[in-house]
A and B are shown apart, each in its own frame.
Chain A
Amino acid sequence: MPDTATLPTIDDAVALGLTRDEYALIVDKLGRAPNQVELAMFSLLWSEHCAYKHSKLLLKTLPTEGRHVVMGPGENAGAVAVGDGLAVAFKVESHNHPSAVEPFQGAATGVGGILRDIFALGARPIAVLDSLRFGEPEASERSRYLLDHAVAGIGHYGNSIGVPTIGGEVYFEGPYEQNCLVNAMALGLAATDRMVRSAAAGVGNVVVLFGASTGRDGIGGASVLASAELGEADADKRPSVQVGDPFAGKKLMECSLDLLDRGLLVALQDLGAAGLTSSASEMASKGGVGIDLDVARVPLREAGMEPFEIMVSESQERMLCVCEPARLDDVLAVCARWEVHGTAIGEVTDTGSMRIFDGDELVADVPVPALVDDCPVYTLAPEPPEAPPYPAPVRVLAADASVQDALLALLASPNLASRRPLFEQYDWIVQSRTVRRPEEADAAVLALPDGSALGVAIDGNGRRVAADPYRGTIAAVLECAANLACVGAEPLGVTNNLNFGNPEKAHVAWQLAESVRGLGDACRALGVPVTGGNVSLYNEGGAGPIYPTPVIGMVGHLPDANRAGRLGFAREGDAIALAGWDAAPSLAASELSKLHGEPLPDGLPEVDLARERAVLEAIRDAVRAGELRSCHDIAEGGFLVAVAECCLAGGLGATLDLGPSDDPWAHLFGERPGGFIVSGPRAALDALATRVPLDVFGTVGGDALELRIAGATTRWPLGGLGDAHRRLARYFP
């Protein structure tokens, strides 16, 4: 083919993140050296982000089948059927590195990106959840800055586009100081038979780009290709910070859904990272066709953009669709109605190649399989470390602190304190579906048209995964399932985002492999398929890798929205019970051990997954029966923190009588999956006792939490507990 620029060198390829071997393989696939545009395209599609080079083989081991599954891994998002002819599409994705650079825009564009993945399927986005990790806020001004700005950015995008942010999670740990995590999950609702796939089809069909114009956004690395033509002076023409525009995103969303409602499209795909290159190639690949694109027709925000820049630009709020030529005018008319710019930029061909033109000039010609399928995948070389390679946290609670002080310290600790200062910055009510708001229940609950509801939870305690990647990941899955059980929801599907360090390091490879093994085993045991997710590797700072952080998002269904569980104590005189635990919890890797500055243990206690499943089902059935007045799972902080949370959520005190215990500290503050604090009439608790270990230990009432254990009595007025629990507010002056 005619050559446009002087051919880039193998060093350019390396500068773009490809290995010398990968470059050689590209030359081999093409039968010639790639030109500038082609190398730019390969550098994106053969990147870790697009090709899953280090995770693909592991991901293959995950269970993806299930009777509810409508779409599994491979599409823009997974989807499960929820009855009534409806399906819920959902996926979690990370925007860690952009958020570490510019937290507000990074988090905002992260939300925008995951929402496009959802409506690309023809599903109307109905909810967002966020999962955040930062360094210790008390010690680190940078972490406070990242927290403040990332939260504002998530709210900015989600609030402005009219999708409620109904839940999320945030943890603060030293290892995230240099490399924060910003993951966002989105859910969408669609009529199952109206969902679209992204496979391009129909030779001669038109490829239409619509949405924002294309600028130099996100062109960081690839700009080395331009170094030939551009001097230092032009360096600032290469901004790589993407600015989110939720207003444009809103119009793009309504326009896309309108186009689909009118049945005008053959295929639809969002432009995410890797822009036009990956969207077009993936559409071609899935349809087994070729695509011709003319970059000269792409509307530009900046003059003088090179063809390769147009192909790799990550400009936000853009979509790509395929339609029949006869429908083109209608498609463009719908775009115009929504004030969205639409342009025909190419067509579907039978060449099996991506051919990029600049006007009449052919500037790239690459077989689609070479781009999409032929990237080498690497098997990891896992090696467990001697012990978890992380420094012990700083002690913030005296070794001889009393139970009185320990509970207050735990409630006030950044990982346990109320998230209200965060979620009050999110609109959690728009769209009129939110049956359970943040802090009302362990899972968010969204009403469906037929009176049933969805339960959604997202979780992943990196510190426990760092202590034991296999059991820690199982614990994260169980935590999500427990949250769903507390509202009465049956799990239908799981999405996940694997946030890890550099997989070329043996111990990180081991963390990743063990974590995925745990994810697979837990999902198989619970009978929940993994329908999608995302992988974010190389999350490291000067001090080394982050805690291994698999973020689990779980979606479930409950038959009656009116019976969705609540976590707060509801009525004076109700009996309170501990349900589920058959063994004492352990202080290993607990929040209390963190406050005491203890290093991570090497391993967590074993859990019996079959038994955990039975407990989850019993709790779920009890909540669905509608007789329990509250149900809350025991998580970080342990038993006593869970009870205090029930008191605060309900504005009611409680009196607890625990009797003797051989290890009161472990009993009160130890952590392990499968424990629940339930309250209600005695009969309801007795009914539950026929299915799970259950111990009635207290009564709801009064304006204080009063604990009698081994003869001693400790009393916490609700006011004091509330003040401690509100501690995060100080980071949002």
Chain B
Amino acid sequence: MKFGVVRFPGSCDDVDAQLAASRVGEAVLLWHADRDLQGADAIIVPGGFSYGDYLRAGAIARFAPIMEEVIAFARDGGPVLGICNGFQVLCEAGLLPGALLPNDHLRFRCRQVTVEVLNTDTAFTRACEVGERLSIPCKHTTGRYYAPDPDALEAGGQVVLRYAPGENPNGSLRDIAGVCNEGRNVVGLMPHPEHAVDERVGGSADGLKLFASAAVALA
């Protein structure tokens, strides 16, 4: 199992994602200007502030050369996980529905949140149980999820993760914390599972399940 973690100028959690992924498989960094996915079986678009979040979070990064390959890989059903800024990039790239807007309180907020798994039939939640609660930190300024037709998303099982009652840190529509595409192979979420893989520094290891899921998917 080989993970490829994209590195844009301004990516911050790329090495963390690589560390987390390497707990369940091999993990390499993919340079934004290359067009080579290095034979990765799953792609992670990590957190951070690609291109400084200037103009609009994810707006510039989604045009990086490597993204052409990631988009093609995703269209062929390859598993792609977008975390925080990566989620923003995948929405901007049209691989995931909706968009992420500035938090309703307009501040950066870093805190441990509890999310509930709604759909386990995706490339990154297979190792979870429906209704299972995961404790994962989130940290962002632009995480308020919006989609024009949330009913359709829910009906289609595209809402993968929901903030537990009272835990919505950003004003996201219907407490949506993570979504997937119709093919279930592309998943994006605002919380940072790569920062919840080691009790010692993560306060929880629940996030490991998302990476393990990718391995299960391929096994």
Contact A429 B10 (CB under 8 A): no
Interface assignment of A686: CB less than 8 Å from any CB of chain B: no
Write the nearest CB–CB distance from A426 to chain B, whole angstroms: 6
- Assuming the contacts A162-B12, A162-B48, asked whether A429 and B108 have C-beta atoms less than 8 A apart, the reply is no
Q: Tell which of A43-51, A246-254, A619-627 binds the partner.
A: A246-254
Q: How far is the CA of A423 from the CA of B203 in the complex (A)?
A: 17
- Residues on A with C-beta less than 8 A from B109 are 424-425
- Residues on B with C-beta less than 8 A from A430 are 12-13, 16, 139, 195
- Assuming the contacts A251-B9, A561-B200, asked whether A428 and B48 have C-beta atoms less than 8 A apart, the reply is no
Contact B9 A429 (CB under 8 A): no
Interface assignment of B156: CB less than 8 Å from any CB of chain A: no
Contact A159 B108 (CB under 8 A): yes
| A-B CB pair tally, cutoff 8 Å | 85
Contact A160 B107 (CB under 8 A): no
Q: Mark A129-161, 1 if CB is under 8 A from B, else 0.
A: 000000000000000000000001001100111
Interface assignment of A661: CB less than 8 Å from any CB of chain B: no
Contact B16 A161 (CB under 8 A): no
Interface assignment of A338: CB less than 8 Å from any CB of chain B: yes
Closest to B199 in A: A562
A429 touches which of B49, B52, B107, B139 (Cβ 8 Å): B139
Interface assignment of B155: CB less than 8 Å from any CB of chain A: no
Closest to A431 in B: B16
Contact B200 A447 (CB under 8 A): yes
Contact B201 A425 (CB under 8 A): no
Contact A429 B111 (CB under 8 A): no
Write the nearest CB–CB distance from B201 to chain A, whole angstroms: 5
Known pairs A159-B49, A160-B52 / 16 extra A-B pairs, C-beta < 8 Å: A155-B108, A161-B12, A162-B11, A246-B52, A247-B9, A247-B54, A250-B9, A251-B9, A339-B9, A425-B107, A426-B110, A427-B108, A428-B110, A429-B139, A432-B202, A435-B201
- Assuming the contacts A431-B16, A434-B201, asked whether A732 and B49 have C-beta atoms less than 8 A apart, the reply is no
Which residues, 8 to 56 on B, are CB-close (under 8 Å) to A? 9-13, 15-16, 19, 48-49, 51-54
Contact B9 A447 (CB under 8 A): no
Q: How far is the CA of A732 from the CA of B105 in the complex (A)?
A: 9
Interface assignment of A433: CB less than 8 Å from any CB of chain B: yes
Contact A247 B16 (CB under 8 A): no
Closest to A155 in B: B108
Interface assignment of A245: CB less than 8 Å from any CB of chain B: yes
Q: How far is the CA of A280 from the CA of B12 in the complex (A)?
A: 31
Closest to B32 in A: A339
Write the nearest CB–CB distance from B211 to chain A, whole angstroms: 14
Most buried by A among B192, B195, B201: B201
Q: How far is the CA of A431 from the CA of B192 in the complex (A)?
A: 12
Q: How far is the CA of A4 from the CA of B16 in the complex (A)?
A: 54
The 11 sampled A-B contact pairs (Cβ below 8 Å) are: A152-B107, A159-B108, A160-B10, A162-B48, A425-B107, A429-B192, A430-B195, A431-B15, A433-B201, A434-B201, A732-B107
A435 touches which of B53, B137, B200 (Cβ 8 Å): B200
Q: How far is the CA of A428 from the CA of B109 in the complex (A)?
A: 11
A250 touches which of B10, B111, B195 (Cβ 8 Å): B10
B contact residues vs A (CB 8 Å cutoff): 9-13, 15-16, 19, 48-49, 51-54, 107-111, 137, 139, 192, 194-195, 198, 200-203
Q: How far is the CA of A160 from the CA of B139 in the complex (A)?
A: 11
B52 touches which of A152, A247, A426, A562 (Cβ 8 Å): A247
Closest to A162 in B: B12
- Residues on B with C-beta less than 8 A from A245 are 52
Q: How far is the CA of A246 from the CA of B49 in the complex (A)?
A: 9
Q: How far is the CA of A682 from the CA of B80 in the complex (A)?
A: 53
Q: How far is the CA of A732 from the CA of B103 in the complex (A)?
A: 14
Closest to B51 in A: A247
Contact A429 B200 (CB under 8 A): no
Q: How far is the CA of A339 from the CA of B53 in the complex (A)?
A: 16
Q: How far is the CA of A248 from the CA of B139 in the complex (A)?
A: 21
Write the nearest CB–CB distance from A325 to chain B, whole angstroms: 28
- Residues on B with C-beta less than 8 A from A562 are 200
Write the nearest CB–CB distance from A565 to chain B, whole angstroms: 14
Contact A429 B137 (CB under 8 A): yes
Q: Mark A244-270, 1 if CB is under 8 A from B, else 0.
A: 011110110000000000000000000
- Residues on A with C-beta less than 8 A from B195 are 429-430, 432
A427 touches which of B53, B139, B202 (Cβ 8 Å): B139
- Residues on A with C-beta less than 8 A from B192 are 429
Closest to B194 in A: A432
Contact B137 A160 (CB under 8 A): no
- Residues on B with C-beta less than 8 A from A247 are 9-10, 49, 51-52, 54
Contact B110 A425 (CB under 8 A): yes
Contact A425 B51 (CB under 8 A): no
Q: How far is the CA of A428 from the CA of B112 in the complex (A)?
A: 11
Write the nearest CB–CB distance from A441 to chain B, whole angstroms: 13
Write the nearest CB–CB distance from B163 to chain A, whole angstroms: 16
- Assuming the contacts A339-B9, A430-B16, A435-B201, asked whether A160 and B110 have C-beta atoms less than 8 A apart, the reply is no
Most buried by B among A152, A156, A160, A248: A160
- Residues on A with C-beta less than 8 A from B108 are 152, 155-156, 159, 425-427
Q: How far is the CA of A248 from the CA of B9 in the complex (A)?
A: 9
The 8 A-B residue pairs with the shortest CB-CB distance, nearest first, are: A247-B52, A162-B12, A160-B49, A432-B16, A427-B139, A429-B195, A425-B108, A155-B108
Closest to B17 in A: A432
Closest to B14 in A: A162
Q: How far is the CA of A108 from the CA of B1 in the complex (A)?
A: 41
Write the nearest CB–CB distance from A165 to chain B, whole angstroms: 9
- Residues on B with C-beta less than 8 A from A251 are 9-10
- Residues on A with C-beta less than 8 A from B111 are 424
